[in-house]
Amino acid sequence: MHWTKHLESGALALFLGAAALAAGGQGVPASSTLHQRSAIQSSERDWWKSAVIYEIYPRSFQDSNGDGVGDLNGITQRLDYLKELGIDAIWLSPVYPSPQVDFGYDISDYKNIDPQYGTMADFDRLVAEAGKRHIRVLMDMVMNHSSDKHQWFLQSRSSRTNPYRDWYVWSDGKGETTTDKGQPPNNWISYFGHSAWQWDETTRQYYYHKFYAQQPDLNWNNPKVHEAFKDIISFWLKRGVGGFRFDAVPTLFEDPNLTDEGVVKDKDGKPIINSFGDQELDDSKTTNQPGVHEVMQEMRAYADTFSAASFPGTRVLIGETYMPNITELAKMYGPAGKPEFQLPMDTQVGMINKLDVATFRTKLIEAETELNNNTPLLLFDNHDNPRIQARYGDGVHDTDIQRALSTVLFLSRGAVQMYYGDEIGMLTTTPSRKEDVKDPIGISGWPEEKGRDGERTPMQWDSSANAGFSTAKPWLPVPPSAALLNVADESRDPSSLLAWYRSLIRIKKTNPTMVCGVETMLDTNNTKVLSWMRKAQGAPPVVVSVNFTAESQTVNLNVPGANGKLKTLLKTPGASDPASLEKIELGPYGVYIGEVK
Nearest one of 420, 397, 418 to 408, comparing CA atoms: 418
> Which residues, in sequence order, are CB contacts of 155 under 8 Å at separation 6+?
162, 163, 164
d(CA 532, CA 544): 5
pLDDT value of residue 24 = 38
Q: Is the pLDDT of residue 539 over 80?
A: yes
Structure confidence by residue, pLDDT tens digits, 413-453: 999 999 999 999 999 999 999 999 999 999 999 999 999 99
Average pLDDT of the residues in 37-62? 82
Residues forming the active site = 247, 320
What is the average pLDDT across 158-169?
98
pLDDT at residue 235 greater than cutoff 90: yes
Q: Which helix (H) or strand (E) holds 567?
A: strand 566-571
Q: How far apart are CA 297 and CA 245, in angstroms?
A: 15
Residue 122 to residues 3, 61, 71, 420, 468: CA-CA distances in angstroms? 48, 16, 9, 21, 21
Segment 120-130 mean pLDDT: 98
Query: b/e for 216-239, b at 16 or more Cβ within 10 A?
Result: bbbbbebeebbebbbebbeebbee
262 to 189, 196, 273, 284, 405: CA distances (angstroms): 11, 15, 13, 7, 36
pLDDT tier at 563 (50, 70, 90 boundaries)? low
Residue 366: predicted pLDDT: 98
pLDDT at 504: 98
Q: How confident is the model at residue 1 (pLDDT cuts 50, 70, 90)?
A: very low
- Kind plus residue range of the DSSP H or E element containing 501: helix 497-510
Task: State the number of CA atoms in the 13 A half-sphere of 244 facing the CB.
Answer: 28
pLDDT by residue (tens digit) across 457-494?
Answer: 999 999 999 999 999 999 999 999 999 999 999 999 99
User: Whose CA is closest to 149, among 181, 102, 191?
Assistant: 102
pLDDT of residue 55 exceeding 50: yes
| Mean pLDDT computed over 586-591 | 97
Q: How many CB atoms lie within 10 A of CB 79?
A: 18
Which domains are assigned to the chain? 10-45 (no CATH), 144-219+260-288 (3.90.400.10), 425-489 (no CATH), 517-596 (2.60.40.1180)
As a dihedral over the C-alpha atoms of residue 154, residue 157, residue 162, residue 163, rounded to 10 degrees, the angle is 60
Using 50, 70 and 90 to split pLDDT, how confident is the model at 561?
low
* Helix, strand, or coil (residue 24): coil
Give the chain's count of helices (H) and strands (E): 17, 18
Q: Quick one: pLDDT at residue 45?
A: 82
Residue 550 burial (10 A CB sphere; 0-12, 13-18, 19+): middle
Instruction: Give the residue among 548, 545, 550, 547 at the shortest CA–CA distance from 578.
Output: 545
DSSP label of 251? G
> If you write DSSP's letter for every residue of 138-183 in order, what string do you get?
EEEEE-SB--TTSHHHHHHTT-TTSTTGGGB-EEPPBT--SS---B
Question: pLDDT tens across 138-149, in order?
Answer: 999 999 999 999
pLDDT at position 22: 41
Distance CA 76, CA 125 (A): 8
* Alpha-carbon radius of gyration of the chain: 25
Q: In this predicted model, what pLDDT tens digit does every residue of 279-302 receive, in sequence order?
A: 999 999 999 999 999 999 999 999
pLDDT at 131 over 70: yes
Report the share of the chain in percent with pLDDT over 70. 91
Q: Over the chain, what is the mean pLDDT?
A: 91
What is the per-residue pLDDT for 179? 75
Closest of 250, 356, 322 to residue 364, by C-alpha: 356
Spatial distance between the Cα atoms of 591 and 403, rounded to a whole number of angstroms? 8
CA 44/CA 463 separation, integer angstroms: 39
In this predicted structure, what is the pLDDT of residue 20?
44
pLDDT band at 558 (very low <50, low <70, confident <90, very high): confident
Buried b vs exposed e over 93-127: b needs ≥16 C-beta within 10 Å? bbbbbbebbbbbbbbbebeebbebbbeeebbeebb
Residues of the chain above pLDDT 90, percent? 86
Q: By the 8 A CB rule, do 591 and 571 touch?
A: yes
Residues whose CB falls within 8 Å of the CB of residue 329, separated by 6 or more in sequence, listed in order? 321, 323, 344, 346, 348, 371
The predicted-structure confidence for 379-402, as pLDDT tens digits, reads as follows 999 999 999 999 999 999 999 999
Of residues 526 and 15, which shows the higher confidence score? Answer: 526
Comparison of pLDDT for 398 and 575, the residue scoring more = 398
Residue 2 has pLDDT above 60, yes or no: no
pLDDT digits (tens, 9 = 90+) for 184-220: 999 999 999 999 999 999 999 999 999 999 999 999 9
> d(Cα 299, Cα 229) in Å, to the nearest integer?
8
Mean pLDDT of 3-20: 41
Give Cα separations from 80 to 374, 409, 468, 498 (angstroms): 31, 23, 16, 15
Is the pLDDT reported for residue 596 higher than 70? yes
3-class DSSP string for 271-287: ECECCCCCECECCCCCC
> What's the confidence (pLDDT) of residue 562?
63
Q: How far is CA 414 from CA 51, 82, 92, 307, 504, in A?
A: 8, 20, 21, 24, 14
287-294: list long-range contacts, CB under 8 Å, 24+ apart. 287/250, 287/251, 288/250, 288/323, 288/328, 289/252, 289/253, 289/254, 289/255, 290/253, 291/220, 291/221, 291/252, 291/253, 292/249, 292/250, 292/252, 292/253, 293/331, 293/332, 293/334, 293/340
Residues with Cβ < 8 Å from 537, sequence gap 6 or more?
7
Q: Distance (Å, rounded) from C-alpha 190 to C-alpha 275?
A: 12
pLDDT of residue 23: 39
Confidence of residue 312 (pLDDT cuts 50, 70, 90): low
Taking the C-alpha atoms of residue 33 and residue 323, their distance in angstroms, rounded to an integer, is 45
Q: What is the mean pLDDT of residues 237-249?
A: 96
